[in-house]
Structure formats: C-alpha cells, structure tokens
Amino acid sequence: MANYKGAVDVVIGGQRGDEGKGNFCAWLGLNGDYSIGLRSASPQAGHSIYIQGKRVGIAHLPCAAVNPKLRLLLGGSSFIDARKLFYGGKETRPHTGETIELQAEIPTLGLTPDRLGIDYNAKLVTEEHKERERQSNLMKLGSIGSGVNPAKHDLIDKKAKFVAEDPELKKFAANTLEEMFRALAEGRNILFETDHGIELCQHFGGYFPYNTARTINTSAYLGEVGLPPQAVRRVYLILKPYITAVAKDAPLKEEIIDSKTLDELLHTGGESGSISGRVRRAGKFDFKSLRKSIFLSGATDLCISHLDLSPHAWRTLGFKGEEEFLERLQAESGATAGKPKLTLVSHGPRIEDISRAN
C-alpha cells in the first residue's frame, strides 16, 4: 500500500445533480486543512456560490476558490469553454431563449496563473461544438447545448483541441499531476470537487438516455484527474431531502405536483439551473437510490442541504419535519456496509448556513 503524507477528500453528488455541492465545497475550502482545490471541469454542470451576496454559477473552477490561500487546479480530463472561463460575452440559453451576459470565471474571481493551473491535457469546447450539439437530438433529452458531447466525439476521433492552443488560457497551462503528487508527498491535502450526481451516471444511473456522458462514481473521477485511490481520506456524499430533474420527459419517481411546495423549492430553494436557467422538477427522496449512491461513492460522510423547508413542504415530502427525515436517513445509511456518518447540514443557500451535524 502507498504511504502518502497528504490526503485527498472527494465531494460527490448522491442524486441527480443540484444537491448543493458548490456550497459545501466552499465551506470545506474555508474550514478544511487543504492547500489545493481541484476540479475535473465540464461546462454543462454548474455549482453555485455567493459572491458579495449574489448567486454565481461556476462551471469550471472549484468553489473552494472562495479561500484565497488555496492553489486551484483543473484536471487533465477537463473540458474548457474559454468564453465561460475567461472571455465572457453574451449567450442565448437554448431552452429558455433568454440572452445572458456570461460571468467569466477567471476575471470574476481575479485569478492569475499563480493561483490557477489548468492541466496541459484539458480540452477546449469551441463555438462550433456548441452549434453541433444544439442542432442534435440531444436537445430533446435535456442537453443544455454546452458543446461537451461533440468535443468528446472529437477527442475520440483524435481531433481534440487543447488548452495551450488558446492564447490566454495557455498562460494557465500546468502539469497538475506533478503538482498533486508533490503535494501528497509533502503532506499537503487536496479537496476534489466533482460534477453531476451518481444517478446521472451513463452506466449505473438507471435513467438512460436521460443521463450525462460520464461515469459518475468516486473511482471514475479519481481516474479522470490521475489520483490514486490509496490517497483518499474522506468521501463527502452530498444529498438533499428531495430529488430534482430538469429534462421534462425524464422519469421521476413520486414527482411532486403540489404547487405551494414547488413554488417554495423554486423561490426559497433556488431550484433553477445555475448554467441552464431551467426550473427543476422535484420528487420525493429515494432511499433505495441512497444505498446505491453510498456503495458507488464509498462515502464516509453525508452532507445534507436544503433543510430549511416549511412544515407544509416537509409534509408533502412525507415527513413530519427535519428530525424525522434525518433519523430515517441515518438509519438507512447505517444499515449499509460503509456506514457513513452525518457530518454537515445546511439550512440555506449560503456558506454561513452550513453547520456541523450534532
């Protein structure tokens, strides 16, 4: 067995995305013992953080970027939309038709190559990739038209373009493998923020074809960035008391139709996509899927978001309140082989709404 002085903590979504990973990653980045924040980026998946009181969708960067002391890395399997990451500009959301001003992530967070490294092997997503995807049948299955799927096809066809081919992003190009291995050898720790959720996995999610073109489990994500499993210390599985989906025709068990609850989830819970802008559908919590997510992730810790629900919403979800839900959650997770413990809870959308579980 390898003996690393440093360790890797992984954050992974346990449902169909939109579990609140970004907020927990920001909290861990500020309160954990890390020197590096890592992400395997893909611009069709956004994580939300609040900057000066405003919700910002982050498609590429680790949300631990809120800690100015951390070195930030984007791994070698990342797909990079240079406009979203660096240049900005106007973009039309294909499903809503609205024109938005892209908040380019690097200038928004004021990052320089001293703070951010993008692996030399990261691939570019071009405007031509976006157009190809938006003209494809994928749009009927819920794609946001990010261009990632055509970019992956070009990688398979040996036609990929790499980050060093962009005149501005090449300044951030780095050997992330070398940096991470050196950090682990020196006793420095890494916080690895993953995208999507396990139920969107292309192989094991169970909702084909309403899934992402990616394998969603801890082992697969470690492979994407080149990290060894022996270096993992903790796996934080992020969940919320209900499930959401964005594709209008995707199957959704026990879908919630109560308008009062749906209105609360949208306006209090922020249930619209940070990248797509689409309003999310909602369904009751699935405990059978929880057990599968714990197994596929190897979870050691559970983090629960969106606990700030009204009594009416809790009743709609089938619980008397937060206490009954958490008791059931801990009983179900405690019956699994991994027995992950409840570690963090969130009662709102901001970092200060997160606290350690009792």
- Give DSSP secondary structure letters for 216-238: -SHHHHHHHHT--GGGEEEEEEE
The DSSP H or E segment spanning 312 is helix 311-317
Which token pair is 122? 């990261």
Comparing CA positions, the residue from 239, 256, 245 lying closest to residue 278 is 245
- How far lies 345's CA from each of 16, 40, 205, 240, 294, in Å? 19, 25, 25, 10, 17
Task: Decide: pTM greater than 0.95.
Answer: no
Which token pair is 33? 């013992």
State residue 194's pLDDT score. Answer: 95
Q: Name the one residue in this structure whose structure tokens are 């409840």.
A: 342
**Alpha carbons 169 and 166: distance in angstroms, whole number:** 5
Could you tell me the domains of the chain? 8-356 (3.40.440.10)
Which of helix, strand or coil describes residue 290? Answer: helix
Which token pair is 1? 């067995």
**Alpha carbons 286 and 296: distance in angstroms, whole number:** 16
Which token pair is 348? 């709102």
Phi-psi group of 54: left, alpha or beta (phi > 0 → left; psi -120 to 50 → alpha; rest → beta): beta
Q: Which residues contact 119 (CB under 8 A, 6 or more apart)?
A: 73, 74, 75, 76, 78, 163, 173, 174, 175, 176, 177
The DSSP H or E segment spanning 337 is none
**Alpha carbons 282 and 231: distance in angstroms, whole number:** 36
CA 75 to the chain's CA centroid: 14
Q: What is the pLDDT along the chain (358 residues), one digit of tens a residue?
A: 468 999 999 999 999 988 999 999 999 999 999 999 999 998 876 777 776 677 777 889 999 999 999 999 999 999 999 999 999 877 666 655 666 677 889 998 999 999 999 999 999 999 999 889 888 888 777 777 788 889 999 999 999 999 999 999 999 999 999 999 999 999 999 999 999 999 999 999 988 888 888 999 999 999 999 999 999 999 999 999 999 987 788 889 899 999 999 999 887 766 554 444 557 789 999 999 999 999 999 999 999 999 999 999 999 999 999 999 999 999 999 999 999 999 999 999 889 999 999 7
Which token pair is 317? 């979800």
**Alpha carbons 86 and 83: distance in angstroms, whole number:** 5
**Alpha carbons 21 and 136: distance in angstroms, whole number:** 30
Which token pair is 339? 């027995």
- The single-letter code of the amino acid at 214 is R
Other CB atoms within 10 Å distance of the CB of residue 213: 14
Is-contact 292 336, C-beta < 8 A?
no
